[in-house]
Amino acid sequence: MINHSRRRTLAAFAIATAGALVFAGCAGEAPEETEESGPVTLTITANAITGGKNAAEADWITDWVIPEFEAAMEEDGKDVTVEFEPQGVDDENYKTKIALDLQSGEGADIIGMDGIWVGEFAEAGYIKPLSEVGGDAVDDWEGWEQIPEAVQAALSFDDARYGVPQGADGRVLYFNKDLFEQAGLPADWQPESWDDVLDAARELKKLDGVTPIQLNAGTAMGEATTMQGLLPMLVGTGEQVYEEEQWVGDTDGLNDVLDLYKTIYVDEGLGDAVLQQEAAGRDTSFQLFASNQIGILLEGDYFWRSVINPAEGVGTAPMANRDEVVGYTKIPAMEPGSGINGQNFVSMSGGTGRVLNPNSDHPEVAWELLAFMNSADAYEARNAGTLAITPRTDVNDEMLADDPMLTYVSEEVLPITAYRPPLAAYPQVSTALQQATLDVVSGMSVADAASAYADAVKDIAGDDAVSGG
């Protein structure tokens, strides 16, 4: 039996609960303190995590950026705390996460992202031009003079800077010199055409337990397939994924590339088609290369400086004898001179960088931190861990000489490289290209795969915006 006072208590409890729920809903929207004198907390996020993916970057942020920046701010009499939110997942998952964060008005103050996402994020209104977020200090920054226009373009969209690039990269063919020696191939290998590559792979096929070549294919690997597989081959045929306001469709070049995939995976079994369909295929290909089971692998310099880097705690598939065993060489065009601009050799480059979150409560301090992360001192500290090609000319001139591989990329590859179009539709076209390679690798004819691809791109961009038949 419920007596009167007990009933009143229950009613009060019910009101309180309902009230609490309503207020809980509102609390998040309370206006934030804009006064900068009080303590400020900033957060940085990147797809990097200690002991895992991009470990060197994660360590640099926690061990150098945060303490140094906090100390510098303290000298200025500001109480700033910086937190790092590490991630260590597939790039596609990371992209989804930050898109959802930004969409809901949340997210870290400084967000690391692939340059190719800038277009679609900007169109969605998730990110805004840097000077709009960070104020006048952005355009006055000394760093812009040190970063070449082409590199800045990687984090730009519609002629506006959306972020600060954190590096440039290039793609090469890696090969295992031990396996080459066993197969009677030269250690200073430099193929001149696709046929040269295939011939070497045919020799490697005679070795036991070795996959001769792995050319990234399929949707499981996401953008890695496009960037470290299809696109470098496509530019080798003289075509680009986007030129003269048209996306590549069912063209001769695309058919040639898909034919190459068919030769490697279906006709001659030079590559492991199953590996390309496995959910963790890319990581497995790293492991296999590191354990001398893959002869030739097309990857970016990230593979050298991060994945197989023997330095303590840096690589996810470290090779103790990397410098002796791993060779690298420029990617040949289909035939000498058949590449874009009549080139003999080709490559693709991308860039990652960091953007400011427009939802930041302290955008000006966040910009100070971002500028600090891109100072010459910061890159020098970053390169003390593992060397990477930085966006800053002053730092590169001084530091790259220490690493022959990165010097090679910077001097030989970057001058001949090509970039993906900074358009919002690109990621969708890229997915369609990945599907085309998967179709071929899993047995569809080249003609069918190419026409299915062209139909998909017409759906995305409209009939007029696609070249080829």
Binding site for other proteins (CB under 8 A): 1-2, 7, 10-11, 14-15, 17-18, 21-22, 25, 92-93, 96, 99-100, 103, 117, 119-121, 123-126, 218-220, 274, 277-279, 424-425, 427-428, 431, 438-439, 442
Nearest approach in angstroms of CB 124 to other proteins is: 4
User: DSSP secondary structure string, 338-349?
Assistant: -SGGG-SEEEEE
Q: What is the spatial distance between Cα 335 and Cα 345, in angstroms, rounded to a whole number?
A: 9
Q: Is 417 within 8 Å of 348 (Cβ atoms)? A: yes
Q: Is 286 within 8 Å of 303 (Cβ atoms)? A: yes
Burial 348-363 (b: 16+ CB within 10 A, else e): bbbbbbbbbbbbbebb
**Residue 241 or residue 406: which is nearer to other proteins going by CB?**
241
Q: What CA–CA distances, in Å, run from 72 to 63, 85, 337?
A: 15, 21, 53
- Give the pair of three-digit tokens for residue 83: 């937190």
**Residue 99 or residue 210: which is nearer to other proteins going by CB?**
99
Q: What is the spatial distance between Cα 305 and Cα 174, in angstroms, rounded to a whole number?
A: 13
Nearest approach in angstroms of CB 257 to other proteins is: 19
**Residue 251 or residue 276: which is nearer to other proteins going by CB?**
276
Phi, psi of 114 (to 5 degrees): -70, 135
**Residue 11 or residue 447: which is nearer to other proteins going by CB?**
11
**Residue 114 or residue 368: which is nearer to other proteins going by CB?**
114
**Residue 344 or residue 442: which is nearer to other proteins going by CB?**
442
Nearest approach in angstroms of CB 26 to other proteins is: 13
Nearest approach in angstroms of CB 120 to other proteins is: 4
Q: What is the spatial distance between Cα 376 and Cα 361, in angstroms, rounded to a whole number?
A: 27
Nearest approach in angstroms of CB 219 to other proteins is: 8
Q: What is the spatial distance between Cα 44 and Cα 66, in angstroms, rounded to a whole number?
A: 10
Q: What CA–CA distances, in Å, run from 142 to 114, 138, 154, 394?
A: 23, 9, 19, 12
Nearest approach in angstroms of CB 69 to other proteins is: 30
- Give the pair of three-digit tokens for residue 102: 């930004």
**Residue 22 or residue 320: which is nearer to other proteins going by CB?**
22
Tokens 């002991």 belong to residue = 51
Nearest approach in angstroms of CB 212 to other proteins is: 17
Nearest approach in angstroms of CB 77 to other proteins is: 40
Q: Is 404 within 8 Å of 81 (Cβ atoms)? A: no
Nearest approach in angstroms of CB 121 to other proteins is: 6
Residue 91 burial (C-beta neighbours within 10 Å; 0-12, 13-18, 19+): middle
**Residue 344 or residue 428: which is nearer to other proteins going by CB?**
428
Helix (H) or strand (E) holding 405: helix 404-408
Q: Which residues are within 8 A (CB) of 10 and not within 5 positions of it... i.e. 6 or more apart?
A: 2
Computed from CA positions of residues 72, 75, 76, 81, in that sequence, does the dihedral angle turn out positive or negative? Answer: positive
**Residue 81 or residue 291: which is nearer to other proteins going by CB?**
291
Nearest approach in angstroms of CB 97 to other proteins is: 10
The amino acid occupying position 172 is V
**Residue 80 or residue 220: which is nearer to other proteins going by CB?**
220
Q: Which residues are within 8 A (CB) of 91 and not within 5 positions of it... i.e. 6 or more apart?
A: 47, 114, 222, 223, 224
